[in-house]
């Protein structure tokens, strides 16, 4: 099993450009998440999906959209990138949502917006 | 006030030392608590969950104090391989809403 995979690993954008970050998991997990990690800030939840067809806002959703394409895939879209969105983006999944389940993370996407 | 706060460190300790990290959380309704480990430029991985009665996994011991709203992680007999950043994670409710601390960086030196 590959676990959680993310593409691309690195990306440089210019202000105003758009892009989609891809995430897939092969563990048959129900819940999936997108986080961003900035120095000194810890991971912050952008959006999550408790099941196929549902998405909910997290702590910092502004400037992002998501799509839960199927049970395996959860994509994050930046419609008009801004320098403030320079960050490391992690996708995660867990077998079922709720309080007590371990989250498994992908390797991250390092995004720079110039 | 941040919802989850940790001492950022860095903690620099010699091999074999005992080191303890604390983490405080602001929401008294928080349901679940975890310690994750993150190596440099890698993804976080679960180290251990934290239970109300406290729990131990080898050299690692986690404690929860609900009254004072803090959790702790104790590492005994530190190894070079323990060098990493340790993230305190709190689930605010039964929803999928996890809050991460900024992490405490540990360096174990020979």
Residue in B with minimal Cα distance to A102: B46
pLDDT at A13: 97
Query: Residue range B48-59: average pLDDT?
Result: 91
pLDDT at A106: 97
Give how far the C-alpha of residue A62 lies from the chain's centroid of Cα atoms, to the nearest Å: 13
pLDDT at A98: 58
> Tokens standing for B36?
């994750």
CB-CB under 8 Å, B102 with A41: yes
CB A91 within 8 A of CB A64: no
Contacts of B17 (CB under 8 A, 6+ apart): B78, B108
Give the residue from A16, A93, A90, A100 showing the smallest Cα distance to A46: A90
Please name the member of B44, B91, B94 whose beta carbon is closest to the beta carbon of A105. B44
- What does the pLDDT look like over B12-45, one tens digit per residue? 999 999 999 999 999 888 888 999 999 999 999 9
- What does the pLDDT look like over B95-107, one tens digit per residue? 667 889 999 999 9
Residues of A within an 8 Å Cβ radius of B: 31, 33, 35, 40-45, 48, 50, 56, 58-59, 90, 94, 97-100, 102-103, 105-108
Reading chain A (114 residues) residue by residue, the pLDDT tens digits are 789 999 999 999 999 999 999 999 999 999 999 999 998 788 999 999 988 889 999 889 999 999 998 999 999 999 999 999 999 999 999 887 655 678 999 999 999 999
pLDDT at B51: 85
* Burial of A19 (C-beta count, 10 Å sphere; 0-12/13-18/19+): middle
């Amino acid at each position: 099993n590959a676990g959680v995979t993310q593409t691309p690993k690195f990306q440089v954008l210019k202000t105003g450009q758009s892009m989609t970050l891809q995430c897939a998991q092969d563990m048959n997990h129900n819940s999936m998440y997108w986080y961003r990690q900035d120095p000194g800030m810890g991971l912050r939840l952008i959006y999550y999906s408790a099941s196929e067809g549902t998405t909910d806002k997290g702590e910092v959703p502004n400037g992002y959209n998501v799509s839960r394409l199927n049970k395996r895939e959860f994509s994050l879209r930046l419609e008009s990138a801004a320098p403030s969105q320079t960050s490391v983006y992690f996708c995660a999944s867990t077998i079922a949502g709720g309080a007590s389940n371990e989250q498994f993370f992908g390797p991250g996407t390092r995004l720079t917006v110039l | 006030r941040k919802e989850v706060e940790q001492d950022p460190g860095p903690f620099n300790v010699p091999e074999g030392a005992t080191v303890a990290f604390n983490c405080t959380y602001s929401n008294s309704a928080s349901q679940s608590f975890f310690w994750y480990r993150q190596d440099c430029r890698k993804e976080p991985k679960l180290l251990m969950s934290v239970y109300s009665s406290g729990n131990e996994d080898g050299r690692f011991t986690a404690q929860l104090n609900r009254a004072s709203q803090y959790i702790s992680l104790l590492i005994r007999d530190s190894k070079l391989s323990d060098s990493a950043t340790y993230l305190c994670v709190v689930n605010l409710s039964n929803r999928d809403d996890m809050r991460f601390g900024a992490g405490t960086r540990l360096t174990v030196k020979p």
